[in-house]
Amino acid sequence: MSEHKLETRIIKPVKSLRGEIFVPGDKSISHRSIMLGSLAEGTTRVSGFLMGEDNLSTWKAFESMGIDIRQTGQTELEIDGKGLDGLSEPGNVLDCGNSGTTMRLMSGLLAGQSFFSVLTGDQYLRRRPMKRVFTPLNAMGARIWGRDGGERAPLAIQGTDLRPTTYASPVASAQVKSAILLAGLSVEGQTTVTEPHLSRDHSERMLAYFGAEVRPFTGGVSLVGRPHLAAQEVLIPGDISSAAFFMVAGLVTPGAELLIRNVGINPTRSGIIDILTAMGGQIELLDLREQSGEPVADVLVRYSRLKGIEIGGDVVPRAIDEFPVVSVAAALAEGTTIIRDAEELRVKETDRIAAMVSELGKLGAQVEARRDGMVIKGVEQLKGGKVSSCGDHRIAMSLAVAALSADGPVSIEDTACTETSFPNFWQILEGAGEG
């Protein structure tokens, strides 16, 4: 399923963009709703679930471990949780598809179970680094094996009794942090993770929402193991990482005005709003509210003359999935944008620095790669041409945004990967385009 057929789309420039849109549910929160719903006692009801391929991989994995998950509406699920010790040994390899979140979070969760499991994924996921979760989990006593000394999937996990740990993560990664916290659920005592900058905190928020004792502090978080997790109603907001494509599209397309409804604006995710506002983008947050422990708002964007800025430090993990589309905004801004401290982009679904430098370059953008980021000199207009998604959903959608104001059609090869996180992206884009 995750090895897609080659599909090419041609995006024509638009006169403008207008309207009101809803983007699908948050991918990170959707994964966690299945995981915690399965580990809680009773039936968890989820709405706003993202029916994208990554989340379906998590869904199938929990079904293979004996959890009953039912779709009750377009974005609604019911999960019959069986408690912390209710999972059973899967009869087959668990296929995480393209989803790093499924593989890394599940390795933490599976390390403390009483059974054996094997995790694999598609050609992209099997290339991504896994030692970042393997090392701290080993320190908790986990028994995990993988190719290249544990660096690459497939991973084989013999569940065992773990011990609590205090781990200073060298990377700001929610996947690493969450893997350790999920492993910590299975042991009595306190598990603590610190990180160089705060990464997305959806796991901590949802663990607390389900009743676990979570103690955040400056620079880290602790979790008290063996909690009683009780089933909940989880309302998932729209994914800010999906909204980001339309934020940039709205800002760079002359005359555009877009209202993006019901977007999660968790401060550990809202770096894109800070970056685009610093570039001179007109973005307004309307009707701020809270939903299942997460802040939500409607986001109004209007065409703006953007200018180049320097981006680095704390904001980087807060916008980590948005750099492909930030590079599009920068390519069309006045002046130079410098992106630093973003070496993590090299180990995403693809090397996103190399991908954006090569593909945006084909459309006439002036982008140079740095070890830990990019230097982008803005141009007046991009050119039409032929590009590739490099098999990465966020590269595909960023190139589509770049195409909207190019001087001719842009043909994007390998676009089916958008199913990973944003199945109706092309329909929404078409609906918002004028002319």
Stretch that binds ligand S3P, among 107-115, 167-175, 280-288, 330-338 (CB under 6 A): 167-175
- Contacting ligand S3P (CB under 6 A), which of 11, 23, 140, 174? 174
- Active site annotation includes 321: yes
Residues in binding contact with ligand S3P, number by CB under 6 A: 11
Paired with 338 in beta bridges are: 310, 375
The nearest distance, CB 321 to ligand S3P, in angstroms, is 5
Stretch that binds ligand S3P, among 155-163, 169-177, 299-307, 396-404 (CB under 6 A): 169-177
The nearest distance, CB 157 to ligand S3P, in angstroms, is 19
Report the largest interatomic distance among the alpha carbons of the chain, rounded to a whole angstrom. 61
- Contacting ligand S3P (CB under 6 A), which of 55, 173, 388, 398? 173
In this complex, which beta carbon is closest to ligand S3P, that of residue 200 or of residue 261? 200
Comparing C-alpha atoms, which of 386, 387, 406 is closest to residue 396? 387
In this complex, which beta carbon is closest to ligand S3P, that of residue 103 or of residue 382? 103
**C-beta separation of 124 from 269 below 8 A:** no
Does 178 interact with ligand S3P (rule: CB under 6 A)? yes
In this complex, which beta carbon is closest to ligand S3P, that of residue 264 or of residue 433? 264
Angle between helix 352-362 and 393-403 (nearest 10)? 30
In this complex, which beta carbon is closest to ligand S3P, that of residue 316 or of residue 429? 316
**C-beta separation of 144 from 119 below 8 A:** no
Does 415 interact with ligand S3P (rule: CB under 6 A)? no
Does 321 interact with ligand S3P (rule: CB under 6 A)? yes
- CA 223 to chain CA mean position, Å: 23
Comparing C-alpha atoms, which of 179, 184, 197 is closest to residue 134? 179
In this complex, which beta carbon is closest to ligand S3P, that of residue 28 or of residue 292? 28
Paired with 166 in beta bridges are: 192
Structure tokens belonging to residue 170: 């060298």
The residue from 201, 239, 321, 414 that is catalytic is 321
Angle between helix 174-184 and 202-209 (nearest 10)? 30
The nearest distance, CB 132 to ligand S3P, in angstroms, is 8
In this complex, which beta carbon is closest to ligand S3P, that of residue 182 or of residue 329? 182
3-state secondary structure of 45: strand
Does 33 interact with ligand S3P (rule: CB under 6 A)? no
DSSP 165-213: -EEE-SS--HHHHHHHHHHHTTSSSEEEEE-SS----HHHHHHHHTT--
Sheet bearing 373-377, strands edge to edge: 310-311, 336-339, 373-377, 366-370
Looking at the chain, how many residues does it have? 435
Stretch that binds ligand S3P, among 172-180, 208-216, 278-286, 304-312 (CB under 6 A): 172-180
- Contacting ligand S3P (CB under 6 A), which of 57, 175, 266, 388? 175
Site for ligand S3P in 338-357 (CB under 6 A): 344
Stretch that binds ligand S3P, among 63-71, 168-176, 215-223, 379-387 (CB under 6 A): 168-176
Does 28 interact with ligand S3P (rule: CB under 6 A)? yes
The nearest distance, CB 263 to ligand S3P, in angstroms, is 16
Unique residue bearing structure tokens 């009483």:
114
- CA 358 to chain CA mean position, Å: 23
> How buried is 349 (Cβ within 10 angstroms: 0-12 exposed, 13-18 middle, 19+ buried)?
buried
What character string, x for contact with ligand S3P (CB under 6 A) and - otherwise, covers 76-115?
-------------------------x--------------
Binding site for ligand S3P (CB under 6 A): 28, 101, 173-175, 178, 199-200, 320-321, 344
Which residues have a catalytic role annotated? 321
